[in-house]
Structure formats: structure tokens, C-alpha cells
Amino acid sequence: MTPPPLTGATRIVPILAHPVDHVRAPRTYNPAFAAAGLDWHMVPMGVAPADLAATLAQLARVTNLQGVNLTIPHKAAAFALCSRVTAEARDTGMANTLRLEADGGWSGANSDGIGFLGAARANGLLDTARPVVIAGSGGAGTAIAFALAAAGVREIDVFDTDAQRAGLLQQALQRQFPDIAAGTRREALRRAGLAVNATPMGLHAHDAMPFDPALLPADAALFDIIAARDTELMAAAASCGLRVLGGRPMVEHQVAHQLAFWRGDFIPTELRR
Amino acid sequence: MTPPPLTGATRIVPILAHPVDHVRAPRTYNPAFAAAGLDWHMVPMGVAPADLAATLAQLARVTNLQGVNLTIPHKAAAFALCSRVTAEARDTGMANTLRLEADGGWSGANSDGIGFLGAARANGLLDTARPVVIAGSGGAGTAIAFALAAAGVREIDVFDTDAQRAGLLQQALQRQFPDIAAGTRREALRRAGLAVNATPMGLHAHDAMPFDPALLPADAALFDIIAARDTELMAAAASCGLRVLGGRPMVEHQVAHQLAFWRGDFIPTELRR
């Protein structure tokens, strides 16, 4: 549905990112707001990490603010600024969806894992009996790892060029889900039923690929969460005969969850950190 | 022209107002930006006067900021925050159009008078040989009074429920244009060729009228600068047989001037206060 024109009665939902140029989310959210009969508009704002706290403090004073969406690199810092969080935000230490409560504090949710699972299931990519390998242990990779574990996947490896960060995620995952096998082995690609790109590699043409999809079993699937474009990784995986999904369905599956959160339709199950 | 959907590549032009609900400017500016081939989007933000300086300081840090539009009640405070101003902003002490310069300072312009004159001339409302009466000595009334004097009108009265503010405007106008007759007489309506509503009265249904248009000569014109709606004053003036113009043409005539300022296409003639 075509979004209605902005007016002074429009409630705004800034999406904070840095850099902001690659952000395409408003093209998904604004039609979804219109389809839900809401005069809301998502507005891109490029905000450097050092400016996040002050920007949120100012946005909290804007009278027509409906909520805030956060993407790279703001999710962990946004979580730290919340006074209340959902279970998904608490588990991951990340918030990508903020709303202002009546007491002036921010409530934070994390829709990344929920959107990932919804898209993977809707497209038949999730077989919880098979190992999953995730490239990238940042905000999205963390949310996806926790969502997969909560969904019943028993073997999850997360690797990263920042090996220390991947190791910390492995430990956090293992602590929360003692029964699963959490690892950091890139080699697990050879046995995976599903490989996930949760790195920013592929955002720009000529980026290197985060891994070689030829390493995957022939019946595996690739989920590249980059939504801005079809990546070289997706093309390479398709040419290997793998099932391939890009990032837009994940965004679409997040919208309903975030929209409900911004409406205040549901109360976070975990109110206090 | 239909504005393109917002993306991360979009440059934003917040319009700051308080309250913000009545603001309709984005419906004019966004199609104009699109028609000019610019991926810019005007975004309403409700900001209280006490928050203006901090909000502008934060907006200055937003990487995809193109410029800022200011409306009631921010124009005088915005002027005070500028390091460079145009002649129209300097004369009126008001800025409704800000752009960020490379040195981090704001440049300010005031398009109200330029837009008013453009619309009045295009619609045949301006006869510089006849007296003009303006209701309202706030930001818009001030800009309009200076623009009319600069355009050659020799007799200008401005009245206001805040008589002191109207008196200060009269003095400033007389100082800048020693040859004109500047007054504060509501009674001048009986001789006026043009009466202007530059108050917020009429923004809302059931507002009282700022003056009785039946006082005007039968061949006079009424220019009500309220753009959000057709006002009761306009209806009453029309039923008296007066020529009547609402506020939208004034907004439209301001767009080209502001757009050029935000593009940086012209350098303010008055660079320093």
C-alpha cells in the first residue's frame, strides 16, 4: 500500500544507522504502516555511535515520536539505554526496537531472531535436526543464534573475523542453552543444513564473501540476511545448486512484531533487567 | 509529483513546530523536492521551545540532514542560533530556513516575506499605492511587514493583542524604512487595500476571527496566511465580496527560495550579524 503523504499529524519512527545510506527498511515499513491504517512514517537518520545517547534523549522529547528502529552499529548501545526489555533483547543484549514509556524510560525489543525464524520457516529453510552455521557474531548473528537454539536447533557454530566476539557468543549461548553444542568452527559448514550470513559482507558490490558456499552440502540452504541487494554470496550459492534466501523476507517478518511493540499492543514479558 | 519512498539515501529536512499537528508543509515540499529530482524528504517533528537548541545541536550531527524548516514558535530562537543570516532574516530577527555550513555553524534565511510577496503579486492582491493592514506581529507578520515596505508600500499598520510587540515592530519598521508611515491602528482597516491575517487565529475551527472583514473597503483584498484550512475569516470576507487568498500559495512561493537555500545554490548576501 502506498504510504500517505507526511503531515504534522504523522507519527515518526526514526531508523538510526551509521552509515545510513544502505538502509532500505522504510520501503518495507512505510507500506506496512499504511496497510495497518497507521499514519506513521519511518525516517532514516544517520547517527554516529558517539551521538546515539544524546540523539535518543532528544528524540524522546519529540512530541510526534512513535518509536525508534535501530540498526548497525547501535543495537547493543540501545539495549544499554533501556530500562525495560523483552526476553529476546535480554538474551542477546541487543535492542533494535524502542518505545518510550509513560515514565520517560525506553522499552527495548529485539526482532532480529523472530524475523529470521519466521522467514526461514516460511521458506522451508529450517530443519532443526541439522547443524546451522552462522557467519558473524554481531547483533544479528547473536539474535539469530539465540532464536535458533530456542527453536530447537541442537548444533550451532558461529564464526567471525573477530574470534573473541564469536567465542563470547558461544559461551553466552552455551550458558543459556546447556543442552546444545555451541561452537565457533568455520569447518562446520561442511555438515550444515543451513548457513547464515549475518555479517555486513555483501552490502556493497565487490565485497569479499564471508565464506565459500561450495563448502556446504549439496542439499543445504543459504540465508543471507543482507536486505539491500542480492549478494555475490547468494549468486555463488545458487550456482552450487543450494536453496537461497535473501534478507528482505526477514525484514518483512519483523514488521508485525515491531509494529505491535510500537503500538504498545503487548507488554514485554521481561520488564526489568 | 509523487515523492519517492524514503530510503537510507534520502536526505531529510525536519520541520520543527510546537504543536506540530496542524503542519501541512510536507504535502507541498515533498512533491516539490521530487519534481526537482531531489531525494529529500521533509519530516515533521514536534519540538517544544525549551528543546529547540538541543534538538538543533543533535540534528547537526545527523549525517543525512539536508536542512531544517522552522515554524511557530521557533523562528526567533532559530535566528538567535545562526552564525550567518540572509538580509530578510537579519531585518526580521527570524529564521525559518536553516542549513549547516562546513564550519558547523547554521546559516539562516527567512522565506515568509518572499513567499507572501510572490503569492500576493501572482494573485493580483498587491497595490503598493494603497495602505496595508496586518493582524499579528509575530514571525510571519514581521516578515510580511518588512517585505511590503521593501516592495514599496508606503503605509503599513500592524496590530496585535500583544500591543507592546506590535509597537516594537512598528519602531523597527520605521527605523529601517524612514519614509513610510508605520502604525499600529486596527482602524486603518477602513482604508486598506489589503488586509493580512498573520495570527494563528483560524488554525482551528471555532477560533475567533482576528478582525471583522466587513470593516474593509468593498474593493479590498484579504490574504489569510493560514495554510492548513480555509478559515472562517476567508468565508466572511468572501461573503462581503472581497477578493480572498488563503495560505497555500504563500507556502508554494516559498519553496523555490528555501530549496535553493538548502541546496547551497546561493550565498546569503548578509553573511555576518
Q: What does the pLDDT look like over A32-42, one tens digit per residue? A: 999 999 999 99
Can you state the percent helix, strand and coil of chain B, rounding each to 5?
40, 20, 45
Helix (H/G/I), strand (E/B), else coil: A107: strand
Q: Is residue B129 part of a domain?
A: yes
Q: Are residues A96 and A135 in the same domain?
A: no
Q: Which of A64, A85, A107 is the last residue of a domain?
A: A107
Closest chain A residue by Cα to residue B42: A6
The domain that holds A97 is classified in CATH as 3.40.50.10860
Phi, psi of A202 (to 5 degrees): 115, -10
Confidence of residue B19 (pLDDT cuts 50, 70, 90): very high
Q: CA angle at residue B184 from B179 to B189, to 5 degrees?
A: 100
Name the catalytic one among A75, A90, A99, A186: A75
Q: What does the pLDDT look like over A165-220, one tens digit per residue?
A: 999 999 999 999 999 999 999 999 999 999 999 999 999 999 999 999 999 999 99
Q: What is the dihedral of CA B73, B203, B124, B189, to 10 degrees?
A: -90
Q: Is residue B85 part of a domain?
A: yes
Residue of A1, A33, A59, A64 best to disrupt the B interface, most CBs of B under 10 A: A64
Active site residue B75: yes
Q: Are residues B91 and B189 in the same domain?
A: no
Among A19, A42, A48, whose Cβ lies nearest the Cβ of B61?
A48
Confidence of residue B269 (pLDDT cuts 50, 70, 90): low
- State percent of chain B over pLDDT 90: 84
Q: What does the pLDDT look like over B179-207, one tens digit per residue?
A: 999 999 999 999 999 999 999 999 999 99
**Contact check, Cβ <8 Å, A26/B6:** yes
Give mean pLDDT, residues B3-15: 93
Whether B182 and B156 have beta carbons less than 8 Å apart is answered as yes
Q: Is residue A258 part of a domain?
A: no
Among B44, B58, B62, whose Cβ lies nearest the Cβ of A46?
B62
Q: Are residues B38 and B91 in the same domain?
A: yes
Question: For residue A193, what is its C-alpha cell?
Answer: 543444513
Residue A5 with chain B: CB contacts under 8 Å:
3, 26-27, 30
d(CA A25, CA B28): 24
Q: Is residue B264 part of a domain?
A: no
Could you list the beta-strand ranges (E) of chain A: 11-17, 40-46, 68-70, 84-85, 97-100, 106-109, 132-135, 155-159, 181-183, 194-197, 221-224, 243-245
* A59/chain B closest Cα distance in angstroms: 8
Q: Are residues A142 and A238 in the same domain?
A: yes
Closest chain A residue by Cα to residue B63: A46
* B209/chain A closest Cα distance in angstroms: 23
The domain that holds B238 is classified in CATH as 3.40.50.720
Closest chain B residue by Cα to residue A5: B27
Q: Is residue B214 part of a domain?
A: yes
**Contact check, Cβ <8 Å, A46/B64:** yes
Q: Return the pLDDT at A270.
A: 59
* B236/chain A closest Cα distance in angstroms: 27
Domain count within chain B: 2
Residue B61 with chain A: CB contacts under 8 Å:
47-48, 51, 54-55
Q: What does the pLDDT look like over B82-141, one tens digit per residue?
A: 999 998 999 888 999 999 999 999 999 999 999 999 999 999 999 999 999 999 998 889
Residue A8 with chain B: CB contacts under 8 Å:
15, 17, 19-26, 44, 46
Name the catalytic one among B41, B75, B99, B257: B75
Helix (H) or strand (E) holding A259: helix A248-263
Q: Are residues A97 and A135 in the same domain?
A: no
Full DSSP string of A173-211? HHHH-TTSEEE--GGGGGG-SEEEE-SSTTSSTTPPPSS
Q: Is residue A196 part of a domain?
A: yes
User: Mean pLDDT in chain B?
Assistant: 94
Q: Are residues A34 and A159 in the same domain?
A: no
**Contact check, Cβ <8 Å, A51/B30:** no
Q: Are residues B127 and B208 in the same domain?
A: yes
Spell out which chain A residues touch chain B, with contact meaning CB-CB distance below 8 angstroms.
Answer: 2-3, 5-10, 12, 15, 17-27, 30, 41-48, 51, 54-55, 58, 61-64
Q: Which of B88, B110, B132 is the last residue of a domain?
A: B110
Q: Is residue A260 part of a domain?
A: no
Q: Are residues A97 and A162 in the same domain?
A: no
* A45/chain B closest Cα distance in angstroms: 6
d(CA B208, CA B197): 12
ipTM of the complex: 0.74
Q: Are residues B122 and B72 in the same domain?
A: no
Instruction: Tell me the count of A-B CB pairs closer than 8 A.
Output: 119
Q: Return the pLDDT at B26.
A: 93
Question: For residue B90, what is its C-alpha cell?
Answer: 537579519
Q: Are residues B242 and B146 in the same domain?
A: yes
Q: Are residues A66 and A29 in the same domain?
A: yes
Q: Are residues A125 and A97 in the same domain?
A: no
**Contact check, Cβ <8 Å, B45/A62:** yes
Q: Is residue A144 part of a domain?
A: yes
Domain hosting A56: range is 11-107
Q: Which of A62, A81, A107 is the last residue of a domain?
A: A107
